[in-house]
A = this chain, B = another copy of it.
């Protein structure tokens, strides 16, 4: 059995209606709502075929039909008319992403908020990935006795400060020297490289400064500990989920929100499977909690290097064309802006 033009029209009608109403739709209603020029009976026959093809299904006997995961997949791949964002929407995204924002944290939280607002879905934004940033420079500033503030600037512009315990018998001047050695050896290197290969080298360099002999290794450990990168995940518009009829059930909401609290799992949701826009529909998702959801995600880059990802999460019955257009445009804007920001 083949998909002819009429079947396509009917499938599109079913999906588009279901996206809006979240109710199963029957042949009669299709004939009434969409002007296809054929009778309910004919539509019934075609729907029967679509069901055999696995593109639609009945929640129960003698209810209307709803799209199956495969149906959505076919819709996204073959049927959907790609949506052009309105000028207004584009403008908002451009304005908000090109705002002069100094700290990457802000970019992330801001993006997450904007994304959920525009799509009315839940947004997930994944911050700088492990291993994508290298050391820029390290500074030490005096703090309490026995402690110092370590300020670390990474090459992607992220600045972090950590308080490190350095022991009481280390002077400010000694710290300066440590910083000098670290800066010289570590600049442009990733944390991984340092931990794997450079550590011994730095240590022997430091111990040349006889004062530091006994303290050096311990200090290094503490410092590197402070450098430990953690990828951050931001969620936006989690409440939007509660507006979806799919989540009228409290237990469903509970498992959903419990999932939202696990950063590690959230990251996996955004795991890209290929270049460009990733669309994961219903049961395609690796987590069974999201077998009634879809995820649209894409990665953002500085220059050509992927450093993070953004995505939206919503019920399988989401407005794919809109969400895809927004995620796509937004990653492009963020990448441009970040790349420009780093060159500045």
Interface residues of A (CB under 8 A from B): 100, 102-103, 137, 139, 141-147, 149, 151, 153, 157, 159-165, 238-239, 242, 248, 250, 253-254, 257-258, 261, 344
Q: Chain A interface secondary structure, helix, strand, loop or mixed?
A: mixed
Contact partner of A253 (CB less than 8 A), chosen from B139, B143, B146, B242, is B242
User: B147 to A102, Cβ gap below 8 A?
Assistant: yes
10 additional A-B pairs beyond A100-B165, A239-B257, beta carbons within 8 Å, are A141-B153, A143-B153, A145-B344, A146-B344, A149-B153, A159-B161, A159-B163, A161-B161, A242-B254, A250-B250
Contact partner of A162 (CB less than 8 A), chosen from B102, B238, B254, B261, is B102
In whole angstroms, how far apart are the Cα atoms of A165 and B344 in the complex?
Answer: 12
The minimal Cβ–Cβ distance linking A338 to chain B, given in whole angstroms, is: 13
Q: Which residue of B lies closest to A251 (CB)?
A: B242
Contact partner of A242 (CB less than 8 A), chosen from B144, B147, B257, is B257
Residues of B within 8 A of A257 (CB): 238-239, 242
In whole angstroms, how far apart are the Cα atoms of A52 and B49 in the complex?
Answer: 70
Contact partner of A261 (CB less than 8 A), chosen from B142, B239, B258, is B239
Complex copy number for this chain: 2
Contact partner of A248 (CB less than 8 A), chosen from B143, B144, B250, is B250
Residues of B within 8 A of A153 (CB): 141, 143, 149
User: A163 to B242, Cβ gap below 8 A?
Assistant: no
Residues of B within 8 A of A145 (CB): 344
Residues of B within 8 A of A100 (CB): 165
The minimal Cβ–Cβ distance linking A246 to chain B, given in whole angstroms, is: 12
Residues of B within 8 A of A146 (CB): 344
In whole angstroms, how far apart are the Cα atoms of A29 and B19 in the complex?
Answer: 51
Residues of B within 8 A of A242 (CB): 250, 253-254, 257
Q: A139-B141, A145-B344 are in contact. Are A162 and B103 (CB under 8 A)?
A: yes
The minimal Cβ–Cβ distance linking A141 to chain B, given in whole angstroms, is: 5
User: B102 to A163, Cβ gap below 8 A?
Assistant: yes
Contact partner of A250 (CB less than 8 A), chosen from B142, B149, B159, B253, is B253
In whole angstroms, how far apart are the Cα atoms of A258 and B142 in the complex?
Answer: 42
User: Which of A100, A137, A159 has the most chain B CB within a 10 Å cutoff?
Assistant: A159
Residues of B within 8 A of A141 (CB): 139, 151, 153
Residues of B within 8 A of A139 (CB): 141
Q: Which residue of B lies closest to A144 (CB)?
A: B344
In whole angstroms, how far apart are the Cα atoms of A102 and B144 in the complex?
Answer: 11
In whole angstroms, how far apart are the Cα atoms of A143 and B69 in the complex?
Answer: 50
Residues of B within 8 A of A161 (CB): 151, 159-161
Q: A141-B151, A253-B253 are in contact. Are A163 and B103 (CB under 8 A)?
A: yes
Residues of B within 8 A of A261 (CB): 239
Residues of B within 8 A of A344 (CB): 144-146
